Structure 1
Amino acid sequence: MAATPRPAGASGRTGRRVRGAPYAFLLPAVTLFALFFALPIGYALYLSLRKVEVKGLGLGRGARQEVWAGLSNYADALTDSQLLSSALRVLGYGAMVVPAMLGLALVLALMLDAERTRLSGFSRLAIFLPYAVPGVIAAMMWGFLYLPDVSPFYYLLDKAGLPGPNLLDGGPLYLALANIALWGGTGFNMIVIYTSLRSIPVEIYEAARLDGCSQLQTALRIKIPIVAPALVLTFFFSIIATLQVFSEPTTLKPLTNSLSTTWSPLMKVYQDAFVNGDIHAAAATSVVIAVVTLVLSFGFLKAANSRSNQGETP
């Protein structure tokens, strides 16, 4: 029986629908990206180029008017001593947090990947679980543990006749903040590294065992070099999270006078926008922070990629 011929225009319409299908699938993601990412960034850039001009006492209709400011807000942000001080504090904080977090995550991942490890599933869950706790709740919990009047640790130290350190004042404050970041972020980094370890072929371990390599030698000479890309990725994420630290110092601020309202750059943005009411200066500072984060991140990735390419060159 002869097949019924299809109309000439039907194949053309079907081809157009097939070619347009990928764009239809991408449309929801592009729409969400435009509404919740690109549009806010564009609006922040617009606000950063404006300022409020006050006439007279600032009273009455038309006394406060938004005018074009050009790059004056950026000049003020780059010469702001409070922003520079907050950036230096965050750099010191990151110098403590990032190496300790990645080192601990790597050690835990190697321990869980060892052959004789028991209850590895429960251990992974227990280590990762703090990451699921919101940063504000984690900071509140640790903040109360740092207070001598309510902390059980200070009670035990007092009963033992030992002095309790003041973790919310001076230099120990950095350790207190770093501890919260370590407690919450180590699990995530450990899961990333552990997943990379589990993807290593078993044949490599068997060859190392036949060559007489111990567990330590296998970890140092095989596992760590292979999971180097995962370490680069976790370092990248940790740098971004460090530069954007906000919840921990903001939550601990009511518990100590050692934390200023501009302790971190994002706290400075919050202070300008919602306390001082200068949304335009806050927008300019946000753009500066975003650009610095972008430059540092891409600079590090470029350096890591070039180092990796040099290592692969025979």
Structure 2
Amino acid sequence: MAAVVASVSKTPTRTRRRLGIPIGWGFVTPFLVFFVIAILAPVVYAIYLSLFREQIVGGSGFVGFDNYVRAFTDPEFWAGVGRVIAFMIVQVPIMLAFSLIAALAIDSGRLRAPGFYRILLFLPYAVPGVVAVLIWGFIYGPRFGLVGSINNFLGAQIFTPLTPDWVLASIANISVWEFAGYNMVIFYAALRTVPSELYEAASLDGAGPLRTVMSIKLPALRGALVITTIFSIIGSFQLFNEPNLLKPIAPNAITSNFTPNLYAYTLSFAGQQYNYSATIAIVMGLITAIIAYVVQLRGTRKELA
């Protein structure tokens, strides 16, 4: 009798084990199909394109890594890379600092109606990127915009945001306006996970607001800071929307190679150089991945320490 009961009890387990693999693959397959079609296939096709070159005679011909050699010796490409690195070095710390201060202020409990300030700061992120650039383009306009009207009223060019000296800072200002609220929400969500017992213990020990921020809140934000830094770095290297839309009103300041993505877009759709454009995109993807990985690695080590 005991043997019969044991065999009956083992049967469902064995059945579940046999069915576990097909059921698991059933859940994973939709994602794998989407990943292969929408992500892996375009990357593989871009790598394939980068190994060829359109020739006047003979059509497309295999050139191996010649396009990559050209990219690494292309001064226009590296000038664009230098601009996005300068953009990243300046814009990312300012944006994250503003987001961090805003999150700490809202979490402090000293503001009335903190939900209103969260929505107010997050609202620019809800505005479509194209619309946001058009709004700021109207503000920056030297002839029809707010800045142009102020300069005309004062009778002097006090501020010229779309000149070569200021256009990168003007684009950085747009990016801060767009994404500071998004990063603020990430920081605020991380702060809300801090146990209230830590604040009570700090209060009993006589810690003031500044000491609480330095000893409790900032350490709790390390993981969120790493994530937002990586996202911001990736976004900086993907800079395309803002210069592309501002180019018609600032043709002297924004060239076709202003950023690597704009350079690749121009090569592909204006110059019909699809193979070299794919090479530029792949090189930029590798550079972005390496830098993001280094930041993640350093952030993880500090968090573990």
Structure 1 length-normalised TM: 0.89
Shift of 1:13: 6.0
Q: How does 1:1-314 map to 2 (within 5 A)?
A: 15-55=17-57, 64-152=58-146, 154-155=148-149, 159=153, 164-256=158-250, 257-309=252-304, 311=305
Shift of 1:132: 1.6
| Two-structure CA RMSD over aligned residues (Å) | 2.2
Output the CA distance in 1 between the equivalents of 2:31 and 2:154. Answer: 59
Shift of 1:228: 1.1
Structure 2 vs 1, CA of residues 88 and 10 (structure 1 numbering), >3 Å: closer, same or farther?
A: closer
Q: Between 210-219 and 85-94, report the one with greater CA deviation.
A: 210-219
Q: Is the 8 A contact 2:80 2:260 kept in 1?
A: yes
Output the CA distance in 1 between the equivalents of 2:13 and 2:85. Answer: 62
User: Cα deviations across residues 126-180 of structure 1 (Å, max 9, x unaligned)?
Assistant: 1111112122211111011011433345545655777531110022212211110
AA aligned to 1:78 is F
AA aligned to 2:257 is T
AA aligned to 1:34 is V
Percentage of matched positions with identical amino acids: 32
Structure 2 vs 1, CA of residues 159 and 284 (structure 1 numbering), >3 Å: closer, same or farther?
A: closer
Structure 2 vs 1, CA of residues 157 and 260 (structure 1 numbering), >3 Å: closer, same or farther?
A: closer
Structure 2 length-normalised TM: 0.91
Shift of 1:117: 1.8
Output the CA distance in 2 between the equivalents of 1:210 and 1:196. Answer: 23
User: Cα deviations across residues 187-209 of structure 1 (Å, max 9, x unaligned)?
Assistant: 11100010000000000001111
Shift of 1:99: 0.5
Shift of 1:110: 0.0
Structure 2 vs 1, CA of residues 160 and 203 (structure 1 numbering), >3 Å: closer, same or farther?
A: farther
AA aligned to 1:217 is R
Q: Is the 8 A contact 1:262 1:268 kept in 2?
A: yes
Structure 2 vs 1, CA of residues 14 and 98 (structure 1 numbering), >3 Å: closer, same or farther?
A: closer
Give the length in aligned residue pairs: 298
AA aligned to 1:202 is S
Give secondary structure in 1 for the equivalent of 2:255: coil
AA aligned to 1:259 is I
Structure 2 vs 1, CA of residues 9 and 225 (structure 1 numbering), >3 Å: closer, same or farther?
A: closer
Give secondary structure in 2 for the equivalent of 1:117: coil
Q: Is the 8 A contact 1:157 1:163 kept in 2?
A: yes
Output the CA distance in 1 between the equivalents of 2:238 and 2:125. Answer: 16
Q: Is the 8 A contact 1:158 1:164 kept in 2?
A: no
Q: Is the 8 A contact 1:105 1:187 kept in 2?
A: yes
Q: Is the 8 A contact 2:118 2:185 kept in 1?
A: yes
AA aligned to 2:50 is S
User: Cα deviations across residues 55-88 of structure 1 (Å, max 9, x unaligned)?
Assistant: 2xxxxxxxx4211110000001111000010111
